[in-house]
Amino acid sequence: MERFTDRRVLITGAGSGIGRATVHRVLNEGGQVVAADINEAGLAETAKQAAEQGHGERLSTVTVDIGNEDSVKAGVASAVETLGGLDALINAAGILRSAHTETMPLADFNKIITVNLTGTFLMIRESLPALLASSKGVIVNFTSTSAFFAHPYMAAYAASKGGIMSMTHALAAEYSKQGLRVVAVAPGSISSDMTDGKGPGLPEDADLSLFMKLMPGIGQGFASPDTVAGVVAMLASDDGAFITGTEIRIDGGTHY
Cβ–Cβ under 8 Å, residues 144 and 96: no
Is 34 in contact with 61 (CB distance < 8 Å)?
yes
Active site residues: 157
H or E stretch at 216: none
In tens digits, the chain (256 residues) has pLDDT values of 799 999 999 999 999 999 999 999 999 999 999 999 999 999 999 999 999 999 999 999 999 999 999 999 999 999 999 999 999 999 999 999 889 999 999 999 999 999 999 999 999 999 999 999 998 999 999 999 888 887 888 999 999 999 999 999 999 999 999 999 999 999 987 776 655 544 557 778 877 666 666 666 666 567 889 999 999 999 999 999 999 999 999 988 876 6
* C-alpha distances out from residue 219 to 4, 48, 215, Å: 30, 31, 10
Q: How far apart are the C-alpha atoms of 217 and 189, rounded to whole Å?
A: 10
- Count other Cβ atoms within 10 Å, centred on residue 187: 28
Task: Reduce the DSSP state of residue 90 to 3 states and report it.
Answer: strand
* CA 177/CA 220 separation, integer angstroms: 43
pTM of this structure: 0.92
Q: How far apart are CA 121 and CA 174, in angstroms?
A: 14
pLDDT of residue 151: 83
Residues 110 and 41: beta-carbon distance below 8 Å: no
In the chain, what are the domains?
8-250 (3.40.50.720)
Q: Do 190 and 222 touch, CB atoms closer than 8 A? A: yes
Q: In this predicted structure, what is the pLDDT of residue 195?
A: 52
Number of Cβ within 10 Å of residue 89's Cβ equals 27
Judge residue 130's burial from the number of C-beta atoms within 10 Å of its C-beta, 0-12 exposed, 13-18 middle, 19 or more buried.
buried
Task: Write the DSSP string, 6-24.
Answer: T-EEEEESTTSHHHHHHHH
Residue 35 to residue 9: CA distance in whole angstroms: 9
CB 246 within 8 A of CB 171: no
